[in-house]
Amino acid sequence: MRTTRLPYVTFHEDPAEAETVSHRLMLRGGYVRKVAGGLYDFLPLGARVLRRVERIVREEMDRAGAFEILMPALQPAELWERTGRWEKYGRELFRLADRHDRSFALGPTHEEVVTDLASGLLRSYRQLPVTLYQIQTKFRDEMRPRFGLMRGREFVMKDAYSFARSKEEGAECYRSMQEAYFRIFSRLGLSVRMVEADTGNIGGSSSHEFMVLAPSGEDTVVFCPSCTYASNVELAGEAVHCPLCQEALDRTTAIEVGHVFDLGDRYSAPMAAGFLDPDGRETLFHMGCYGIGVSRLLAAGIEQSHDEAGIVWPVAMAPFAVAVLPLGGKDADLAGKALRIADLLEKKFPEEVLVDDRDLRAGVKFADADLLGFPLQVILGEKGLREERAEIKVRASGERHNVAISGLAEWIGDFLGSKGPVDTGLADA
Ligand SMILES: Nc1ncnc2c1ncn2[C@@H]1O[C@H](COP(=O)(O)OP(=O)(O)O)[C@@H](O)[C@H]1O
Ligand SMILES: [Mg+2]
Ligand SMILES: [Zn+2]
């Protein structure tokens, strides 16, 4: 992709409304644009990051054996009345009426719809367990939408729901989703902490949250410095000592990026949703539900990884892994050569290369590449080109490597391939 073809704009002033680093950098870098409070456009660069995150989430859900579905965002009130949540959910639920005056909600989550679906789809014990998931736009009339993608009124969530024959089988589904979550966050290059959590508006018996530790986080987690105990502050309450080893607890702010719930029959009972067991008896599903804030992950990624100059994307999240910066100059032959090298690199890494072909000063190109956060910058200046060499800057470390043009593609290929094995995190969870 060439920068001159890409409709985006960067700003060098800080937008007044942005209170967090991620919000500020996403607006400045032209990743998103505010439409109204809690509502954002994803511009081409932002949409690329979103698609990359979605792809990893999808791959890991599929690997865990879950099936992708897609449910409507618009949901009839009648389903919510069956679980009592039409009354209970409160003002966060966007409610509306159709032309016949029937009531609907814009889905903030999909337990009712999916339970209704499963009760018709999964009739026999032989079909179970099954986990269904979707990646979809959710709506919540948040009291305080803020921090850009962090707390929107419309946002992208991955929500999954498991249907099992028993409590034990439900626990296995739960564990397999936890594992998938660790794989997802690890592949995204995020370090997360799993904590015990409150079951809140969703209900059920147990729940864990996945937290990205960051100063701007709206949540607080409590953890033990000497053992594995970690909890959401709401659940830990006023406790000052670790319940496992009595050590004094620490606390820190964090961003909730994922949440898993063991629901039991919280939804299957009121909706009479179940299956026939081997003796032909009607039995309630043991359910679980599992959310990931897909669009919030963009903000969390930046909160965890940035510096004064801008975003420092983990490789897997970056809209492009490599920015090629031909620096121009007076020598037309060398300028032509720089563009030919850039084109060759783009052919070699078609999804990963952005060529900054703008007719601008080197300083502007460097500043924009730093702001936008591409993991590698390949700098093609006159002096280097005369010696058949390029400079590669690694955004995260600031390291610079002087690389022969003939070895450029291999160097980049090695870098992109060296993301390391996936850590499931369960060992120290
Ligand atoms: N308003 C929002 N904007 C962006 N992401 C959200 C929002 N609300 C929830 N999420 C994301 O969706 C995930 C699942 O939602 P859930 O746990 O039901 O939300 P909450 O904890 O706010 O009740 C959360 O872990 C979070 O990452
Ligand atoms: Mg939650
Ligand atoms: Zn402890």
pLDDT digits (tens, 9 = 90+) for 88-135: 999 999 999 999 999 999 999 999 999 999 999 999 999 999 999 999
Residue 197 lies in a domain: yes
Query: What's the gap in Å between 39 CA and the centre of ligand 2?
Result: 20
Are the beta carbons of 259 and 195 closer than 8 angstroms?
no
Residue 237 lies in a domain: no
Higher pLDDT, 129 or 417: 129
Which ligand sits closest to the CA of 218?
1
Q: How confident is the model at residue 205 (pLDDT cuts 50, 70, 90)?
A: confident
Domain region containing 18 = 3-221+251-307
Do residue 292 and residue 370 come from a single domain? no
pLDDT digits (tens, 9 = 90+) for 257-316: 999 999 999 999 999 999 999 999 999 999 999 999 999 999 999 999 999 999 999 999
In the chain, the amino acid numbered 186 is: S
Residue 327 lies in a domain: yes
Q: Compute the distance between CA of residue 153 and CA of residue 108 in angstroms, rounded to an integer.
A: 9
Residue 240 lies in a domain: no
Which ligand 1 atom minimizes the distance to the CA of 157? 12
DSSP letters along 397-421, please?
T--EEEEEGGGHHHHHHHHHH-S-P
pLDDT digits (tens, 9 = 90+) for 317-350: 999 999 999 998 888 999 999 999 999 999 999 9
Do residue 8 and residue 61 come from a single domain? yes
Residue 132 lies in a domain: yes
Do residue 28 and residue 63 come from a single domain? yes
Domain count, the chain: 2
Q: Determine the pLDDT at residue 237.
A: 87
Which ligand 1 atom minimizes the distance to the CA of 152? 3
Are the beta carbons of 357 and 3 closer than 8 angstroms?
yes
Do residue 295 and residue 345 come from a single domain? no
Do residue 302 and residue 410 come from a single domain? no
Query: What's the gap in Å between 151 CA and the centre of ligand 1?
Result: 8
Q: Compute the distance between CA of residue 305 and CA of residue 303 in angstroms, rounded to an integer.
A: 6
Residue 212 lies in a domain: yes
Question: Can you give the CATH number for the domain in which 128 is found?
Answer: 3.30.930.10
Q: Determine the pLDDT at residue 10.
A: 84
Residue 316 lies in a domain: no
Residue 425 lies in a domain: no
Which ligand 1 atom minimizes the distance to the CA of 159? 14
pLDDT digits (tens, 9 = 90+) for 142-196: 999 999 999 999 999 999 999 999 999 999 999 999 999 999 999 999 999 999 9
Do residue 262 and residue 330 come from a single domain? no
Nearest protein Cα to ligand 1, atom 2: 151
Q: Retrieve residue 313's tokens.
A: 């994307």
Query: What's the gap in Å between 314 CA and the centre of ligand 2?
Result: 24
Q: Retrieve residue 334's tokens.
A: 């060398």
Query: What's the gap in Å between 103 CA and the centre of ligand 2?
Result: 26
Q: Determine the pLDDT at residue 420.
A: 47
Average pLDDT over the chain, rounded to whole?
94
Do residue 298 and residue 171 come from a single domain? yes
